[in-house]
Amino acid sequence: MQSRALRHALATLAAALCLLSLTADAAHSLCTQPGDHARDFTLTDLQGNPVALSDYDGKVVMMVFWASWCSRCREEMEFLQDLSSRLADDVVVLAINQETENVDPAHLEKLRADVAQMGLEFPVLLDTDLQVWGAYCVNALPTSIIVGRQGQIAFAEPNYYWASQDNLTAALRDLDALHD
């Protein structure tokens, strides 16, 4: 009888946790929330050029944290590349790669080949010391953060799931950053 009560209690707890996870704010797991001021950073791109977030002051910046081995990341990159033709002129996508800590030249060449194979035309930045990952408390790949024209976080969502394309598109529409 006691084990039956324990099983019932555990089942109830599991159901409650599932319901809680369905209603949780997606950005809750990030330390960056909509309305926060975006933290500036400087990273290098695949060609070794420095790129700072502040280089794009006054523009809408979509930061996407990703890795080439991550299948959901690759899905999001393909979606963003397709979406890029509809973006307003003052919108920039920055793909911040998270697999580059202690990267060797062979891995960097493989990453360049992966980016070329995916046909990505937006900047891919190397977060080699996980500086930006830590500054934004990213804990899942992919993670998308959109910075508005005044430098405020307008959207932050970890993971990429069935509703992500609609959520990203809606956030860009809200910023008047998308041509329909």
Q: Where are the domains of the chain?
A: 26-174
Residue in the structure block whose two tokens are 């950073």: 41
**Cβ proximity of 61 and 92 under 8 Å:** yes
Distance CA 145, CA 50 (A): 20
Is 173:98 a contact under the CB 8 Å cutoff? Answer: no
How high is the mean pLDDT in each 10-residue block of the chain (180 residues)?
A: 55 40 47 93 95 97 93 91 87 90 81 94 92 92 95 92 87 87
Angle (nearest 5°) at CA 90 between 72 and 42:
65
Distance CA 68, CA 144 (A): 15
* Cβ contact 141:64 at 8 Å: no
Q: Which residues touch 45 (CB under 8 Å, ≥6 apart)?
A: 51, 123, 124, 125, 126
> Following CA atoms 71, 73, 74, 80 in sequence, which dihedral angle do they give, to the nearest 10 degrees?
150
Residue-level pLDDT at 143 = 93
Q: Residue 120's pLDDT is what?
A: 94
Angle between helices 164-174 and 71-83 (to 10 degrees): 40
How high is the pLDDT of residue 105? 85
Residue range 26-174 forms a domain whose CATH class is alpha beta
Write down the pLDDT at residue 7. Answer: 53
In the prediction, which pLDDT does 107 show?
Answer: 86
CA dihedral angle for residue 53, residue 42, residue 68, residue 146, rounded to 10 degrees? -20
